[in-house]
Amino acid sequence: MKAVVCKEFGPPENLVVEDVDAPIAGPGEVLIDIKAAPITFPDTLIIENRYQFKAAPPFIPGNEVAGVVSAVGEGVTDFAVGDDVLGGSSVGGFAEQVAVPASRLRALPEGLGYAEATGFGYAHGTGYYGLVHRGNLQPGETLLVLGAAGSVGLAAIELGKVLGARVIAAASSDEKLALCTKIGADETINYTTEDLKVRAKELTEGKGVNVVYDAVGGDKAEAALRALAWRGRFLVIGFTAGIPRIPLNLALLKGCDILGVFWGAAQGKEPELFHEGARKIDQLAAEGKLNPHVTRRYALDEVSQALRDMIDRKIIGKVVVEP
Ligand SMILES: NC(=O)c1ccc[n+]([C@@H]2O[C@H](COP(=O)([O-])OP(=O)(O)OC[C@H]3O[C@@H](n4cnc5c(N)ncnc54)[C@H](OP(=O)(O)O)[C@@H]3O)[C@@H](O)[C@H]2O)c1
């Protein structure tokens, strides 16, 4: 089968596309003919050995897939050949086939195509766990999303609206913010041309926002923390702009909570919340309340360019590989 292979750690340009042996479904595993796999920020890190999850070269990157079951291993009873499925793969997604433990799969959410459904685990799963289980976001509260036009950010906008919040999307360009508005954001802040803290305070009549969903970090994190209201919640999601250092007196002054959100670890440590989130997201999709937007579809040969564009902040929205 054709696959994108990381033969040694390095930049996206080092990836090669070649024919490799097709995987087989071992005990407890399901073999999937991949129809779509999302390109995500962790893919840019894992190929450089800079991510918390480590893979040993040679490996095929790509951490989530949607496709059709083509074989099941010994002991698998929940899935059968021909089923449409979605699930986490850790690695192996940028290929024509992958073998995944059955425990990491679920049925493709009703009413969605393969490409549209990808990222439901990665982005919407993180969003639900972060906003509901960690952030306790309430109807009528104000949610500020940083990196809002990325796949994780857009999912937070969608879920914030479903949960009844007023959503302020923050991103680096008007083109990115136009997509955020299309997805449902009530207000936008261009943090390249506007002062993030000042504008967020203006938009909340000086009170500040109730919840920050920070998928960016870097110098945006402190500005966003300073824009929190009394008893606000700051959700630590990601560090695309680097890992910030925060003066802790800000937490005291605002009586706020700074909450780490590690959705991948929650799968093992809080499986009941993990599965509740997946069920809820699938239900919302079936009710037509989530409409994940796919901005661009790439072939396997284009993965390296897509990852370079992601590092260079040229990607807008969710992009997928269709082998
Ligand atoms: N905590 C968890 O459990 C969890 C789960 C999934 C993902 N994540 C993390 O969430 C973050 C976002 O992931 P994603 O897949 O949504 O990424 P993405 O689509 O690339 O979006 C991230 C956004 O970060 C912004 N950004 C700011 N500075 C950047 C820089 N120096 N390089 C690249 N992007 C920069 C970009 O928006 P602007 O240009 O508008 O600033 C970009 O749209 C990642 O750090 C990822 O690891 C965490």
Q: What is the CATH number of the domain that holds 48?
A: 3.90.180.10
CATH number of 250's domain: 3.40.50.720
Positions in the chain whose pLDDT score sits under 50? none
Q: How far is the CA of 101 from the centre of ligand 1 (A)?
A: 27
Instruction: Indicate whether 32 and 98 sit together in one domain.
Output: yes
Contact criterion met (CB below 8 Å) for 154 and 318: yes
Instruction: Indicate whether 133 and 259 sit together in one domain.
Output: yes
User: In the chain, how many domains are there?
Assistant: 2
Q: Is residue 214 part of a domain?
A: yes
What's the pLDDT score for residue 52? 85
Instruction: Indicate whether 137 and 220 sit together in one domain.
Output: yes
Q: How far is the CA of 16 from the centre of ligand 1 (A)?
A: 24
| For ligand 1, mutation pick of 152, 234, 321 (most atoms within 8 Å of CB) | 152
Contact criterion met (CB below 8 Å) for 323 and 34: yes
* Closest listed residue to residue 42, CA positions, set 127, 99, 124, 123: 123
Ligand 1, atom 18: nearest CA belongs to which residue?
150
What's the pLDDT score for residue 267? 86
> Rounded CA gap, 262 and 322, in Å?
28
Tokens linked to 26: 């071992």
Ligand 1, atom 30: nearest CA belongs to which residue?
241
Instruction: Indicate whether 115 and 22 sit together in one domain.
Output: yes
Instruction: State the burial class of residue 320 (Cβ atoms within 10 Å of its Cβ: 0-12, 13-18, 19+).
Output: buried
Helix (H, G, I), strand (E, B) or coil at 52: coil
Q: How far is the CA of 153 from the centre of ligand 1 (A)?
A: 8
Q: Is residue 41 part of a domain?
A: yes
Instruction: Indicate whether 44 and 135 sit together in one domain.
Output: no
Contact criterion met (CB below 8 Å) for 16 and 60: no
Contact criterion met (CB below 8 Å) for 216 and 242: no
Domain range for 214 is 122-264
Q: Is residue 54 part of a domain?
A: yes
Instruction: Indicate whether 314 and 254 sit together in one domain.
Output: no
Q: Is residue 244 part of a domain?
A: yes
What's the pLDDT score for residue 291? 82
What's the pLDDT score for residue 294? 94
Alpha carbon distance, N-terminus to C-terminus of the chain: 10
Q: How far is the CA of 77 from the centre of ligand 1 (A)?
A: 37
Ligand 1, atom 36: nearest CA belongs to which residue?
147
* Closest listed residue to residue 11, CA positions, set 42, 43, 39, 48: 48
Instruction: Indicate whether 256 and 305 sit together in one domain.
Output: no
Q: How far is the CA of 50 from the centre of ligand 1 (A)?
A: 14
What's the pLDDT score for residue 125? 95
Residues with CB under 6 A from ligand 1: 40-42, 122, 126, 147, 149-153, 171-172, 176, 215-216, 237-241, 261-264, 310, 313, 315
